[in-house]
Amino acid sequence: VRLTITDAVLDGERVGLRCVDGTIEAIGPEVAAQPGDETIDAGGALLSPPLVNGHTHAAMTLFRGSGGDLPLMPWLQERIWPVEAKLEADDVYWGTRLACAEMIRSGTTRFWDMYWQLEQTARAVADAGLRATIGEPLMDVNGDEAVMREAALASLDRLGAPGPRIGPALAPHAIYTVTENSLRWIAELAAERQVPVHIHLSETSQEVQDCVAAHGERPAAYLDRLGLLTERTLLAHGVWLDPAELDLIAERGTTVVTNPAANMKLAVGAVFPYPAAREAGVAVGLGTDGAGSNDSLDLLADLKLFALAQKHAAADPTAIAAEDAWAVATGARAPLLGAAAAPLRPGADADFLLLRGDDSNLAIGELASNLVYAAAGAVVDTTVVAGRVLMRGGELPELEEIVARARERARRLGL
């Protein structure tokens, strides 16, 4: 499969880009289409690396707009868990397709997901054409560790061998829903199978207090003692990490994904200490969290919240530069997330966006600043993954059907 983009703008220069079999073969002013290529005339649109959403529960788009003003526990106990108990395969599939549609439309091409029936998530990601690392939430219910272990092994089997676009993760839900024994067991399994671990950590101060009371140490030190703080581990949230934990996380090469919109909506009361994390050398990514607690998967919108929250919390407008925030959102500051180390170069995966350079929010001023503070997903014109055009001219071919089917599934669940 060969695709050539002509007349795109990169760093102020008109360039062409040619993709062969999912990889960028050439990029530069002299690159032109060859006979038989699929071609796109970008018409001066801006060529950009795509965004990486480091923490999602994709199928929770079905729960959007439901109970959003409740405190966390009533929200989970009254609105989420009773409905999740009734989920069918097609609920997860169409909820995830809706999430994927939103991500394609707002420039995200890769995400890290934690949700039930992961083979349905995988099917939706495959059909949508995106990339994802997928794990099923692992919890010890009623203290029966054998049940969780069986579920963990079964989830890896059901997802099968990693492919070029979809890979497995082990996703222990949190340190307060999985026992110490089980966490240690998961660490061993992850090491043996060489799969990443995706876990919520240090989201609320209560979680930290409970951890110190139960184990005599803070959450990052606790995970480290259990063998779970490695370069294959992704920690979602990290709001309450202290300086010693950040040093330890940096030393272990572990990634933290901050989810500013979800943290603010659930009112956790603090902001992930990004300047301290950067100073310590922690790998950092950006996530939306699930639509149940955010409710949007537009990472460009959350990028603005991320930068604003950091500046506001530090009482310092220089706390984070626009280029720095943009690098976090594209996965450039966290190799584990899987973005190309050098995107938009020959040999890299053919994953990229065309942005409307003449959009009112991008036309004037510095691009990085506009992308962080002025733009939202609507500036994305074209989304390409592995050399395949998923959206062109802002038109997603199956959008109407996806919305209708997801709405049908949400109604069936009484949402």
Residues contributing to the site for Zn ion (CB under 5 A): 289
Torsion of CA 152, 153, 159, 161, to 10 degrees: 130
Torsion of CA 103, 104, 110, 111, to 10 degrees: 20
Q: How near is the Cβ of 376 to Zn ion at its closest, in Å? A: 22
**Chain centroid to CA 275:** 21
Specify the residue, 265 or 392, whose C-beta has the smaller distance to Zn ion. Answer: 265
Q: How near is the Cβ of 409 to Zn ion at its closest, in Å? A: 21
Specify the residue, 54 or 387, whose C-beta has the smaller distance to Zn ion. Answer: 54
Q: How near is the Cβ of 199 to Zn ion at its closest, in Å? A: 10
Specify the residue, 228 or 262, whose C-beta has the smaller distance to Zn ion. Answer: 262
56, containing H or E segment: strand 51-56
H-only helix segments in 160-270: 180-193, 205-215, 219-225, 243-252, 260-265
d(CA 56, CA 234): 12
Q: Look at strands 380-385 and 352-355 and give their pairing.
A: antiparallel
Q: How near is the Cβ of 176 to Zn ion at its closest, in Å? A: 13
Q: How near is the Cβ of 202 to Zn ion at its closest, in Å? A: 13
Q: How near is the Cβ of 97 to Zn ion at its closest, in Å? A: 20
Give, in degrees to the nearest 5, the angle at Cα 414 between 412 and 415: 110
Q: How near is the Cβ of 241 to Zn ion at its closest, in Å? A: 16
**Beta pairing partners, 284:** 256
Please give the residue whose beta carbon sits closest to Zn ion in the complex: 289
Specify the residue, 200 or 278, whose C-beta has the smaller distance to Zn ion. Answer: 200
CA quadruple 165, 169, 171, 175: dihedral positive or negative? Answer: negative
Closest CA to 161 of 197, 127, 195: 195
Closest CA to 246 of 236, 259, 255, 234: 255
d(CA 207, CA 72): 13
Q: How near is the Cβ of 200 to Zn ion at its closest, in Å? A: 5
Specify the residue, 171 or 353, whose C-beta has the smaller distance to Zn ion. Answer: 171
- Asked whether the beta carbons of 7 and 16 are under 8 A apart, the reply is yes
**Measured distance between the N- and C-terminal CA atoms of the chain, rounded to whole angstroms:** 42
d(CA 373, CA 353): 18
Structure tokens at 9: 């703008």
Specify the residue, 289 or 295, whose C-beta has the smaller distance to Zn ion. Answer: 289
Q: How near is the Cβ of 289 to Zn ion at its closest, in Å? A: 5
d(CA 95, CA 121): 9
Specify the residue, 115 or 352, whose C-beta has the smaller distance to Zn ion. Answer: 115
Q: How near is the Cβ of 336 to Zn ion at its closest, in Å? A: 17
- Asked whether the beta carbons of 218 and 211 are under 8 A apart, the reply is yes
Give, in degrees to the nearest 5, the angle at Cα 142 between 228 and 184: 15
* Inter-axis angle of helices 118-128 and 145-159, nearest 10: 20
- Asked whether the beta carbons of 23 and 409 are under 8 A apart, the reply is no
Specify the residue, 199 or 355, whose C-beta has the smaller distance to Zn ion. Answer: 199
Specify the residue, 115 or 185, whose C-beta has the smaller distance to Zn ion. Answer: 115
Specify the residue, 112 or 326, whose C-beta has the smaller distance to Zn ion. Answer: 112
